[in-house]
Amino acid sequence: MSAPAAPLLEVDGLRKWFPVREGIVVPRTVGHVRAVEDVSFSIGRGEVLALVGESGSGKSTTGRLVLRLLEPTAGRVRFDGVDLLGLGAREMRAFRRRMQIVFQDPFSSLNPHLRVADMLEEAMVIHGLEPDGAARRARVEELLATVGLRPEYGRRFPHEFSGGQRQRLAIARALAVRPEFIVADEPVSALDVSIQAQIVNLLDDLQRRFGIALLFIAHDLAVVRHVATRVAVMYLGRIVEIGDAERVFASPSHPYTRALISAIPVPDPDARRERILLGGEIPSPMAPPSGCVFRTRCPHATEACAREVPALEARAPGHMSACLRAAELA
């Protein structure tokens, strides 16, 4: 047996605190938004890690830190064994090609003044791919076909497309530079429900076909159910549960994950589960609760939960959760 290959992406102890400033003439820092707190995970080649959690839990910040679109307050990001945070701007360029992002809003992420073909060619030219013009134009047609769009659409501008088609274009642009890793940040949240599955399926197909690793960010667990290899659940800046997707869906360990899963509609009325309703709002990330950050909304919290920050602990092979009472509640 050969040694297991190192993961493509390794994130270790990531933290991002955004300073909050007050005062216009003499601004001073009055606190910090603790957007990401001690986040660690890895993604193997060709694997899909779904990162889920309510709005404001730190998912987008995590995605941007991983791509080094933001500098972390602490922690490490390794891609293909290289410490990205130690790289200068020039060295970072090669990695920029290998790691792409697809945003939630495909309209604001596409240049409205560029025809689609020019946009795709530009992505290749920037990274020195397909220097031959004829080959590049052929590749544009191939990319459009890959994402399910007709070749003549290359002559159109972004505003001439529907939301779903624009997201196909954003995916084509990411694929244009032959990435190994894509962060898809809520790629279907802005789309009509009827279109969402098409785009999720497209990402799933392409990810398999090209062996691309994917960090699939979503606020809704149902969206990632059929694409995720593994699932990480975030709450108030922290990963509270991470594990193989099947396992997390079948036997969620953390009370927060249980609540999220109980909220997924079930088509069969006989199989209806009891829905766990969470009281209250997510606390302010400027002043997170002591101990377990979830305790203020947790139906099982005890006094100990206010004192101790629960660490991620193994519940089964490849499955971890951060809950002091997990063993007892299992």
Ligand X SMILES: Nc1ncnc2c1ncn2[C@@H]1O[C@H](COP(=O)(O)OP(=O)(O)O)[C@@H](O)[C@H]1O
Residues binding Mg ion (CB under 5 A): 60
Taking the least distance from each CB to ligand X, the nearer of 33 and 102 is 33
Task: Work out how close the CB of 142 gets to ligand X at its nearest, in angstroms, rounded to a whole number.
Answer: 33
Pick out residues in 57-116 that bind ligand X (CB under 6 A).
Answer: 57-61
C-alpha triplet 262, 319, 65: angle, nearest 5°: 90
Q: 202 CB contacts (<8 Å, ≥6 apart)?
A: 147, 148, 168, 171
Taking the least distance from each CB to ligand X, the nearer of 58 and 158 is 58
Stretch in the footprint of ligand X (CB under 6 A) among 21-29, 50-58, 174-182, 311-319? 50-58
Stretch in the footprint of ligand X (CB under 6 A) among 55-63, 115-123, 247-255, 306-314? 55-63
Q: Which of 29, 30, 55, 201 binds ligand X (CB under 6 A)?
A: 55
Taking the least distance from each CB to Mg ion, the nearer of 62 and 146 is 62
Task: Work out how close the CB of 35 gets to Mg ion at its nearest, in angstroms, rounded to a whole number.
Answer: 10
Pick from 162, 165, 124: which is nearest to 148 by CA?
165
Pick out residues in 29-48 that bind ligand X (CB under 6 A).
Answer: 33, 35
Pick from 229, 202, 199: which is nearest to 51 by CA?
229
Pick from 275, 264, 311, 313: which is nearest to 291 by CA?
311
CA dihedral angle for residue 265, residue 269, residue 270, residue 276, rounded to 10 degrees: 40
Q: Which of 7, 285, 288, 310 binds ligand X (CB under 6 A)?
A: 285
Query: What count of Cα atoms within 13 Å lies in the side-chain half-sphere of residue 272?
Result: 4
Task: Work out how close the CB of 58 gets to ligand X at its nearest, in angstroms, rounded to a whole number.
Answer: 4
Task: Work out how close the CB of 178 gets to ligand X at its nearest, in angstroms, rounded to a whole number.
Answer: 27
Task: Work out how close the CB of 81 gets to Mg ion at its nearest, in angstroms, rounded to a whole number.
Answer: 28
Spatial separation of the C-alpha atoms in residues 116 and 165, rounded to whole Å: 11
Stretch in the footprint of ligand X (CB under 6 A) among 49-57, 100-108, 133-141, 322-330? 49-57
Q: How many residues bind ligand X (CB under 6 A)?
A: 12
- Name the 3-class secondary structure at 232: strand
Does residue 189 belong to the site contacting ligand X (CB under 6 A)?
no
Task: Work out how close the CB of 278 gets to Mg ion at its nearest, in angstroms, rounded to a whole number.
Answer: 19
Task: Work out how close the CB of 190 gets to ligand X at its nearest, in angstroms, rounded to a whole number.
Answer: 13
What does each C-alpha distance from 96 to 13, 64, 67, 72 come to in angstroms?
22, 12, 8, 17
Q: 69 CB contacts (<8 Å, ≥6 apart)?
A: 101
Q: Are 42 and 11 in contact (CB under 8 A)?
A: yes
Query: What count of Cα atoms within 13 Å lies in the side-chain half-sphere of residue 291?
Result: 17
Q: Which of 7, 56, 179, 243 binds ligand X (CB under 6 A)?
A: 56
Taking the least distance from each CB to Mg ion, the nearer of 60 and 257 is 60
Spatial separation of the C-alpha atoms in residues 15 and 39, rounded to whole Å: 7
Question: Which residues contribute to the site for ligand X (CB under 6 A)?
Answer: 18, 33, 35, 53, 55-61, 285
